[in-house]
Amino acid sequence: MKTTLEIADSLLLEAKARARAKNMPLRRLVEEGIRLALERDKASAAPFKLRDTSVGSGGMLITDWNEIMRLAYEGRGGG
């Protein structure tokens, strides 16, 4: 797709020089830059956070993994 962009003269000169040094068309350099910017923004998006649906207060106060497993399987024939 063709489009028109207004770019600062100094930035355009630098981009043309970089494209020439890399032996690539300016168009490809611009596309690469846009892709990198979009990927960076996607990567820096806020991670998913599971909302707290706990009931009551105090939460889980047990920090010993063996005790957690014992309670999880209590009365179920396990552990």
Q: What is the model's pLDDT at position 11?
A: 96
pLDDT digits (tens, 9 = 90+) for 17-68: 999 999 999 999 999 999 999 988 887 777 788 888 777 776 667 778 888 8
Indicate whether 79 pLDDT > 60: no
Q: Is the pTM of this model over 0.85?
A: no
Q: What is the model's pLDDT at position 78?
A: 61
Q: What is the model's pLDDT at position 28?
A: 96
Q: What is the model's pLDDT at position 76?
A: 82
Token pair for 69: 């497993």
